[in-house]
Chains A and B, each alone.
Chain A
Amino acid sequence: MRYAMAVDTRKCVGCSDCVVACQTENNVPIGFCRDWVVEVMDGTYPQLEMEIRSERCNHCANSPCVRCCPTGASRFTEGGIVVVQRSVCIGCGACIASCPYDARYPHPDGYVDKCTFCIHRLRKGMSPACVDVCPTKCLSFGDLDDFHSDISDVLKRRKYKTLIPEAGTGPHIYYLI
């Protein structure tokens, strides 16, 4: 099982609903976020191109955070999801420094926190909160090893890119272009 997410940059309108849903679902402290929206403007007027991306932890196949963690608090769990075990995390910040996407943040309670693909919802057979709430249905989520899942289907049909693949991380968030 390999969980992955696809973000359709052609459908995303940048409403930030995914951000709010995540903050509510995961009780993210005020002033922090596990996912965020980036807007890229490219070109010279009037030939302008805009891309809007909902970004989060890439749950990399070759995670620098898992590699650098001195205690094993950052680890892979089912479906390649990268999680932080709070009772093992010492809050040293090595994983935060190691992430090229800056997807992690120090929780005010001391441990390091980040997107979990809403693993508590997945275990109940639900989708991540951001995917469920998206009004344009631009987020697809599923198992790459299941050929009939939403994600496999959309990656077959569409062109996509990943962020900073040259960092050698093997990201699992795909941006449809």
Chain B
Amino acid sequence: MKEEIFVSGRMNQLVDPHLHIWHWQISLYLFLGGMAAGILAIAALYYIRGREKDYRTAVRITPFLAPLLLILGLVALFIDLRHKLYFWQLYTNIKLQSPMSWGAWTLMVITPVSFIWCALHIRDIFPKWDWKFKWLNDLEYFLNLHKKTLAWIMLIYAIILGIYTGILLSAFNARPLWNTSILGPLFLTSGLSAGAAVTLILSENKAERRQFARIDLVLIGIELFLIIHMFMGFLASTQVQIEAAKMFLGGEYTVSFWIFVVILGMLFPAILEILELSKYHIPVLIPAVLVIFGSLMLRFIVVYAGQMSRWLY
């Protein structure tokens, strides 16, 4: 038997007895950022493919949520900082090795782009909108001319934002649960799935709803594949990662993860969407809200569980 104790009584706040430096702010931000990334990526993709008329809600209406989600996420991030007044130091340099630096710069691009996208579609919400100033009208005309370029920028940065929410965590090799490259694609897929679910709720067009139910179904399939893949990877890896996986396979996060994320957030909505697609009438709100809830729970559980996983010594 091996027993280790701190004889000097180390009890650093937020670090001992196990790390708990990041709380709801980070989880919430990862969720909001991921969902905004999903919404913007889908809008940009369908615009670029010229399907604006078929999927009007996804391209023109749902993106109105994105700036709101991003701003809320940024507020959460700001609350999390402990040296708040120095936050601008993020923008005094670019550190390519630090995912957080990447994220800060990505947000610097995608947030204004999402505002511009909304400004270009403001007449879909307020039909009589007038910019009042001539230069604003000129600017709108100019941006409308280059809308495709804008859509490409939005698509690329939305994907970077979606992946980065996962890579942010996977860059920490000190926390074996996070230290898997699957986390990037998993969070991106989860964000896209939440984004598709928002359109599913807002859309009033039957054909569009069917399409987004189908998209959600495919994304849930990919998510399940990635989750299985992630656990296979953990179990075939070193002792520390086996210990990390055990938290979900019999350990303290087993119930919350498999029930809230996998069953309620993925399997159950998938079944409901299959029923919907095969002509049964299901209130669309139920699977969509469950998908969004599952996406939120995934971030919370991964952020909290990751901080409990550690190197054994």
Give the A-B pair count, Cβ closer than 8 A: 156
Assuming the contacts A37-B7, A90-B90, A93-B22, asked whether A100 and B99 have C-beta atoms less than 8 A apart, the reply is no
Query: Which B residues lie within 8 Å of A88 (CB)?
Result: 86, 89, 92
Contact of B82 among A16, A93, A98 (CB under 8 A): A93
B residues 1-34 in Cβ contact with A at 8 Å: 1-16, 19, 21-22
A72–B98 CA distance with the chains assembled, in angstroms: 9
Do A70 and B90 have beta carbons less than 8 Å apart?
yes
A residues 30-45 in Cβ contact with B at 8 Å: 31-33, 36-44
Q: Is A96 an interface residue (CB 8 A)?
A: yes
The secondary-structure label for the interface of chain A is loop
Interface segment among B60-68, B155-163, B169-177: the answer is: B169-177
Do B13 and A31 have beta carbons less than 8 Å apart?
yes
Do A71 and B7 have beta carbons less than 8 Å apart?
no
Report the nearest B residue to A111, measured CB to CB. Answer: B83
Do A105 and B12 have beta carbons less than 8 Å apart?
yes
A70–B97 CA distance with the chains assembled, in angstroms: 9
Which of B19, B83, B95, B97 has the most chain A CB within a 10 Å cutoff?
B83
Contact of B101 among A71, A104, A111 (CB under 8 A): A71
Which of B4, B6, B21, B103 has the most chain A CB within a 10 Å cutoff?
B21
Do A68 and B99 have beta carbons less than 8 Å apart?
yes
Query: Which B residues lie within 8 Å of A105 (CB)?
Result: 12-15
Query: Which A residues lie within 8 Å of B202 (CB)?
Result: none
Residues in chain A within 8 A of chain B (CB atoms): 14, 16, 19, 31-33, 36-44, 52, 64, 67-73, 87-94, 96-100, 102, 104-106, 109-112, 163-164, 166-168
10 contacts between A and B (CB under 8 A): A40-B3, A68-B172, A70-B101, A71-B92, A72-B93, A89-B86, A90-B87, A90-B90, A96-B15, A110-B84
